[in-house]
Structure 1
Amino acid sequence: MPVSEVLSRLLKRAGLYVRQTKYREALALYDQAIQIDPKNSESWCLRASAKIEMGTYAEAIADCDRAIAINPNYADAWSKKGLALYYLEQYAAALAASIRAVSLNANDASAWYIKGICLEEMGKSEEAEIAYAKSLELEIILDIKDENKRNRT
């Protein structure tokens, strides 16, 4: 079986564990994926997501940094890093990471939301409202697209 297929299967199984809140099991699979291909930025980013869910924010940031070192233009890694930094109350750094995420993917509703909550924490309510509005707009668009997909099948 090709390495890419093995990685894909590991990441899918790990994702199922995350959805079931079985984070330790998910981390074990992400660790396997990273051992197989340590230069796969997606594995690092997904492991960071699980670590955020577990509340191990500093570890999540380290994983995001690894993903970003591999691919500096990986918007999701920047977004996850922003969220972890937010939880650590490092609002300026979180804002910078979310701005980077939005600059790489203007359609990332989560990055816009993280940007908004950081701006709000920093006392920039008007700017926060703009970011929140963009996040909500994107969520509505995504919901409509999902609904259209469900109706076609």
Structure 2
Amino acid sequence: MPVSEVPRLLKRAEHYVRQTKYREALALYDQAIRLEPGNAEGWSQRAAAKIEMERFAEAIADCNQALALNPNHADAWSRKGLALYHLGQYVPALAAATRAVTLNGNDASAWYIKGICLEETGKSEEAEIAYAKSLELEILLDIREEKNRVGK
């Protein structure tokens, strides 16, 4: 299978994740990574599936690989933060989430992850600011989606 098939494999794998068919998704992510090991997106997306499967240490390893390939991959930072949070590593999780929002200030999930990490580290006031930013972005996304749906 040629490298040009990698985007299709990633899209199919993402579809399986949405259906909670994680085993099928991982098989496709593995195939995509074998074809193009230098594709940070493949590593990052596989990390997201592993987080859903509660395989947090493996997800962190995939995020680290994505970040070695692209240190500015905002989603990999966000996913790393979430996996670290689930392992109770709140300070490094906060650092990862902060990096994610620095790279992509419009990522509602990254702001939420930052908020929960701030809360766990005793910074409640800062957490409220992060939660508010997350909520604001979610509302904007909902409005945009509704406009697109109505406009069709």
What is the TM-score when the length of structure 2 is the normalising length? 0.97
After TM superposition, the structure 1 = structure 2 runs for residues 9-28 of structure 1, keeping only pairs within 5 Å, are 9-28=8-27
Q: 1:136 aligned to 2:139? A: no
Q: Deviations over 1:85-120 (max 9, x none)?
A: 000000000000000000000101111000000011
Q: Offset at 1:2?
A: 6.1
Question: What CA distance in whole angstroms lies between the structure 2 residues aligned with 1:35 and 1:152?
Answer: 41
Question: How many equivalent residue pairs?
Answer: 152
After superposing the two structures, state which structure 1 stretch, 61-70 or 16-25, moved more.
16-25
- Please tell me the residue identity of whatever aligns with 2:81: G
Whether the aligned pair in 1 keeps the contact of 2:2 and 2:35 (CA below 8 Å) is no
Q: 1:39 aligned to 2:38? A: yes
Question: What CA distance in whole angstroms lies between the structure 2 residues aligned with 1:139 and 1:76?
Answer: 16
Q: 1:63 aligned to 2:62? A: yes
Q: Offset at 1:82?
A: 0.2
Whether the aligned pair in 1 keeps the contact of 2:90 and 2:117 (CA below 8 Å) is yes
Q: Offset at 1:3?
A: 2.6
Whether the aligned pair in 1 keeps the contact of 2:114 and 2:127 (CA below 8 Å) is yes
Q: Deviations over 1:50-71 (max 9, x none)?
A: 0000000000000000000000
Whether the aligned pair in 1 keeps the contact of 2:94 and 2:118 (CA below 8 Å) is yes
- Please tell me the residue identity of whatever aligns with 1:3: V
Q: 1:53 — aligned with what? A: 52
Structure 1 moving runs of 4+ over 2 Å: 1-4
Q: 1:74 — aligned with what? A: 73
Q: Secondary structure at the match of 1:98?
A: helix
Q: 1:109 aligned to 2:94? A: no
Question: What CA distance in whole angstroms lies between the structure 2 residues aligned with 1:39 and 1:140?
Answer: 35
Runs of 5+ consecutive residues of structure 2 not aligned to the other structure:
none
Q: 1:3 — aligned with what? A: 3
RMSD of equivalent CA atoms:
1.0
Question: What CA distance in whole angstroms lies between the structure 1 residues aligned with 2:55 and 2:64?
Answer: 15
Question: What CA distance in whole angstroms lies between the structure 2 residues aligned with 1:76 and 1:32?
Answer: 21
Q: 1:98 aligned to 2:103? A: no
Q: 2:118 — aligned with what? A: 119
Q: Secondary structure at the match of 1:55?
A: coil
